[in-house]
Structure 1
Amino acid sequence: MARCPGVRPMSSEEPLTPLTLATDSRIPVPAAADATTADYDRYFHIVRHAPDLMSWTCGVLRLQAAVLDDLPHTGLDDSQRAAVLTGLLHTSHAALAAWLRPEPGSVPADGPAHGSDDALRRWKLGHQLFHLLLTTMNSTLDDTMAAVGAAQWRSVRHGLERLRTLYDAATAAMAYASDFPASVYASDVRPTMEPPFAAPGFSGTLNQEHRVMTERMHALRAALGKLPAPPSLLAEIRTEEALLRAAQRRNRQAHAAICERCVPDGTSLLLRHTTRRRSGRAACE
């Protein structure tokens, strides 16, 4: 007699096992199980594990980009969109703030990378960050200038405070961009800014965002010369103005230190190109 695979024949000496039947005398129908958290996560494409901070931050930024791309196509009103953007702002702030160590400490045990490819990538990545900060500064300068014209003194003070923070961030971005030995700059980084890799006369003076920032900063300084603000608010504005000037001094000092470390003879690529061009003209004459 045929036997069901996996089913052991019952011995005549074993007690008879009760047969379970349904109360409605019918073959039971499989009942759908109640939804679980796993079902919910699967539907909304949520994966739960123990991500490291980098994975978490990248996930936050990817989601932010997707929402920003779709938000203009929704029927939300301005206040609802502002609420969504404010939420994204706080989430981004929290994600980036998590990268700050709870307490100041030394460089991680693995230490900084100084390979030629790492240095060149950091040099360019740091300059992109620098440009991004300058762009934010330029928009903040426009807003602060508009606040001066509208006599919105508290907004002026907040604008100056934000500019000072951005200036310090830009100074740190310069340190980040040049965080490798001067020997690596000389052998692997600086040559990439010369022919045949770049046009002759390559220079930081070609930085458009920096030119705009410098012009707007001069305009703001002139506008802040005489303000008809109430004495208490005027004192706060002057304090923030002084703090901003101090941040500018720190920036200039930091830039000079980087130049001195990386180019000890002080000969920039632009100066070298100009000198060669003048020498060539003199020879022709």
Structure 2
Amino acid sequence: MTTQPLPLLHARELPTTGEELRTAASTVNALIAELPATPSAPDLIRLRQVLAPDHYEPAGPQEAASLEEAFSEHDAFFGVARAHGSADLFLRALLIAEIDTALDLARTATSLSPAECSALVSGGSALLGRRRARDGSGDLVRPPEVRTALPADEHTAQQRWRSGHRLVFTHLQAITVTCGCAVHARTAAGQSAYLEDTVLFCTTAALAMRHAADFSPELYVRSIRPSMTPPHVGAGFSGLQTRDHHYLVQSLDSLGTRLLPDVVEGTTYRKFEEALGRLYAAHVHVCRRFGGDTNASLRMEASKEDSGTTGAERARQYAGLRLRKLGGRRPAA
């Protein structure tokens, strides 16, 4: 797996309209037109090389100093570089993160089902407009058919933790993008179609969270958690430093009031709310898997909080607040 940072387009520069997204997809499709769609590792590596930008312009600080410092620390830990450039950088990063996940699956297994593994790496193909066959053969990136054992040592666990989170970040960006495209679509059918894409990426982001944490709790305690404490990072390292989630919350803040009433009251919006709920539930799952039912989070430990609340319970509280806020944004009947 590459040790180079993954260039992620800064969230302020993500495409926000269907036209911008289609233009980006056209650029990427032209770039990879002659490449095969296959789970073969050599072909995936070649595809990754073609997608990786030869150069990119770093996106400078765009937030208040304290917030930018927290975001930047989080980005650096997970191997992310924020880029300034055209919208196709968003799709390139999405596909690269999916390729890295497929290559990870070729080395070490996952407890996800074959269908879940396929969904995990097919979101980029969907945004490129590729026609998907029932067996998944239309996807540009596909998981390998043969997998070995779950990560069993600190190195492979660290690889999965970091590459899995990079996949989460790209899928969070995709949720933000498809929500923006839905808002700017002019018809109920167009808005619903983009919301269907949002449902897809809420689902895959939840799978990516589960995949990122798919190794033993003992490895987390021995290797992962210590790497997220001083002197490696500042005290109180937290998912609240996730830049892409910060912008996602902003995009969701007034979503219900910006969509057509027929869409907000329709089945697709309900599916979206349910899928977003599953996404936050996946975060709680990760907290619980690694001792969050009995222990405080790193952030709570650093603040010396003694409220009797566990890390998993705090994650559930945050999730409830965000989901209630979303539901409360529906237009009045």
Task: Establish whether TM, by shorter chain, passes 0.5.
Answer: yes
Aligned to 2:209: 174
Distance verdict in 2 for CA 1:240–1:120, change over 3 Å: same
* Alpha-carbon distance in 2 for matches of 1:180, 1:90: 34
| Aligned: 1:117 with 2:155 | yes
Aligned to 1:6: none
What SS class does the counterpart of residue 275 from structure 1 fall into?
Answer: coil
| Aligned: 1:99 with 2:126 | no
Alignment of 1:94-243 (within 5 A): 94=138, 96-99=140-143, 108=146, 110-147=148-185, 151-224=186-259, 227=261, 234=262, 238-243=266-271
Aligned to 1:251: 279
Instruction: Compute the displacement of 1:236 (Å).
Output: 9.2
The amino acid of 2:269's aligned partner reads E
Asked if 1 retains the 8 angstrom alpha-carbon contact of 2:191 and 2:263, the reply is no
* Alpha-carbon distance in 1 for matches of 2:273, 2:144: 26
Instruction: Compute the displacement of 1:252 (Å).
Output: 2.1
Tell me the alpha carbon deviations over residues 42-72 of structure 1, each in whole angstroms, 9 at most, x when there is no partner: xxxxxxxxx9711122223434558999xxx
The amino acid of 2:143's aligned partner reads W
* Alpha-carbon distance in 2 for matches of 1:68, 1:237: 45
Structure 2, unaligned runs of 5 or more: 1-37, 57-124, 133-137, 307-333
* Alpha-carbon distance in 2 for matches of 1:134, 1:91: 21
* Alpha-carbon distance in 2 for matches of 1:186, 1:192: 10
Structure 1, unaligned runs of 5 or more: 1-50, 70-85, 102-107, 228-233, 278-285
Distance verdict in 2 for CA 1:275–1:236, change over 3 Å: closer
* Alpha-carbon distance in 2 for matches of 1:92, 1:158: 16
Aligned to 1:265: 294
Instruction: Compute the displacement of 1:218 (Å).
Output: 2.4
Tell me the alpha carbon deviations over residues 94-134 of structure 1, each in whole angstroms, 9 at most, x when there is no partner: 45454376xxxxxx562222210111111111111111111
* Alpha-carbon distance in 2 for matches of 1:222, 1:111: 47
The amino acid of 1:268's aligned partner reads S
* Alpha-carbon distance in 2 for matches of 1:199, 1:67: 32
Asked if 2 retains the 8 angstrom alpha-carbon contact of 1:134 and 1:210, the reply is yes
* Alpha-carbon distance in 1 for matches of 2:271, 2:284: 20
Distance verdict in 2 for CA 1:202–1:53, change over 3 Å: same
* Alpha-carbon distance in 1 for matches of 2:239, 2:53: 34
Aligned-pair identity in percent equals: 22
| RMSD over equivalenced CA pairs, Å | 3.3
* Alpha-carbon distance in 1 for matches of 2:149, 2:227: 25
Which deviates further from its counterpart, 60-69 or 246-255? 60-69
TM-score (norm: length of structure 2): 0.52
Instruction: Compute the displacement of 1:178 (Å).
Output: 0.5
Pairs aligned (count): 195
Which deviates further from its counterpart, 124-133 or 58-67? 58-67
From the CA coordinates, give the structure whose radius of gyration is larger: 1
What SS class does the counterpart of residue 199 from structure 1 fall into?
Answer: coil
The amino acid of 1:130's aligned partner reads V
Instruction: Compute the displacement of 1:257 (Å).
Output: 1.8
